[in-house]
């Protein structure tokens, strides 16, 4: 009878796991965040600097922004950078992303400011674009050996600015790129799941920013 060496089986198992990781990594890459390259959507990027408020995004704000209580929202668009990874994605799926982002932005604004639909005095105009997308690779998010790694993570890059609706004066601007989370339920098995997660988080942070602006206005009025 031929005896089975447990140590040999264990070594073979580790070798197979390593091979699986190498194959998956070669197919999908190790980083889920697209490079935050400037797409041209914002035009001028010279004012923007790394920001702690938005977790390393490039950001700038005009002190005048605190005086704006009304906001109109342009539909979110896709404005890919020349070297963007998401150029080949189905336009229908991209439209779902932009439509949802537009609606979510309008919701968070309506909770904190007056949402309007036409330009006017004291009205800020928000314009935003998705500028790159890295798709999620489902097999890498299911495989136990890659569960805690960055292999297969998707992500998104975006740019946005708030301007005076009449003069075009810039009130705030941001551009950023993020990877999704391995632990987001369901996002890891959808092609654009992590990209959607990143965009949702950006909208949430924008809502928190609006809260800060509202508190600052209230404090000034109380003095």
Print pLDDT tens along the chain (223 aa). Answer: 555 555 554 555 554 444 444 444 334 444 455 665 689 999 999 999 999 888 879 999 999 998 899 999 999 999 988 878 777 888 999 999 999 999 999 999 998 899 999 999 999 999 999 998 887 655 444 444 444 444 457 788 899 999 999 999 999 999 998 886 554 554 444 567 778 888 988 998 888 888 888 887 777 776 5
d(C-alpha 79, C-alpha 188), whole Å: 24
Is the CB of residue 36 less than 8 Å from the CB of residue 177?
yes
Decide if 21 is inside a domain: no
Q: What is the DSSP string of 117-131?
A: SS--TTEEEEEEEEE
Please give the pLDDT value at position 177: 87
Helix axes 193-222, 91-112, angle to 10 degrees: 20
Q: Which residue's structure tokens are 């600097």?
A: 49
CATH number of domain containing 83: 3.40.50
Distance of CA 158 to the CA centre of its chain: 6
pTM exceeds cut of 0.85: no
Decide if 16 is inside a domain: no
The burial class, CB within 10 Å (0-12 / 13-18 / 19+), for 196 is: buried
Decide if 8 is inside a domain: no
Decide if 12 is inside a domain: no
Is the CB of residue 33 less than 8 Å from the CB of residue 134?
yes
Expressed as residue numbers, the domain containing 164 is: 29-222
d(C-alpha 133, C-alpha 12), whole Å: 37
Decide if 171 is inside a domain: yes
d(C-alpha 31, C-alpha 153), whole Å: 7
Closest of 110, 105, 112, 63 to residue 211, by C-alpha: 112
Closest of 32, 209, 187, 8 to residue 111, by C-alpha: 209
Decide if 169 is inside a domain: yes
Closest of 208, 160, 217 to residue 53, by C-alpha: 208
Domain count, the chain: 1
């Amino acid at each position: 009878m031929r005896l089975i060496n447990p140590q040999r089986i264990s070594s073979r198992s580790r070798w197979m796991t390593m091979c699986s990781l190498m194959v998956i990594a070669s197919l999908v890459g190790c980083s889920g965040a697209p490079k935050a390259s400037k797409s041209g959507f914002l035009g001028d990027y010279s004012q923007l600097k790394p920001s702690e408020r938005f977790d390393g995004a490039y950001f700038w704000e005009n002190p005048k922004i605190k005086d704006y209580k009304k906001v109109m929202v342009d539909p979110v668009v896709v404005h890919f950078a020349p070297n963007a990874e998401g150029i080949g994605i189905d336009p229908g799926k991209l439209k779902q992303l932009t439509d949802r982002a537009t609606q979510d932005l309008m919701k968070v604004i309506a909770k904190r400011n007056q949402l309007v639909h036409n330009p006017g005095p004291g009205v800020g105009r928000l314009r935003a674009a998705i500028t790159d997308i890295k798709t999620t690779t489902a097999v890498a998010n299911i495989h136990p050996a890659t569960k805690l790694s960055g292999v297969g993570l998707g992500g998104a890059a975006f740019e946005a600015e708030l301007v005076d609706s009449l003069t075009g004066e810039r009130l705030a601007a941001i551009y950023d790129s993020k990877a999704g989370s391995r632990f987001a339920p369901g996002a890891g098995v959808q092609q654009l799941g992590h990209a959607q997660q990143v965009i949702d988080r950006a909208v949430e942070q924008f809502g928190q920013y609006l809260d800060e602006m509202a508190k600052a206005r209230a404090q000034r009025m109380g003095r």
